[in-house]
Amino acid sequence: MSTNSSPTESPTTEPGPSILAERTLLGIFVHFIAILPFIGPIATVVIYLASSHEFTRANARNALDWHLFVIGSVLATFALLIGLDTLFEYVTVPGPLEAAVLLPVFVLVFAAMSLGLLSAVIWIVAMAKAIFGEAWRYPFAPELV
pLDDT of residue 61: 93
Domain ranges of the chain: 22-132
pTM: 0.72
pLDDT of residue 21: 58
pLDDT at 1 over 60: no
pLDDT of residue 14: 53
Confidence band (pLDDT; 50, 70, 90) for 16? very low
| Chain segment 53-106, per-residue pLDDT in tens | 888 899 999 999 998 888 888 888 888 888 888 887 888 878 788 788 878 888
5 phi-psi bin (left φ>0, alpha ψ -120 to 50, beta other): beta
Q: How many residues does the chain have?
A: 145
Residue-averaged pLDDT of the chain: 81
Determine what percent of the chain is predicted with pLDDT higher than 90.
12
CA 118 to chain centre: 10
- 62, 138 Cβ separation under 8 angstroms: yes
122 to 24, 33, 67, 92, 95: CA distances (angstroms): 20, 13, 11, 43, 39
C-alpha span between 142 and 68 (Å, rounded): 9
* Number of other residues whose CB lies within 10 A of the CB of residue 133: 13
DSSP-derived letter for residue 31 is H
- Compute φ and ψ for 8, nearest 5 degrees: -90, -15
Mean pLDDT of 6-21: 54
- 68, 41 Cβ separation under 8 angstroms: yes
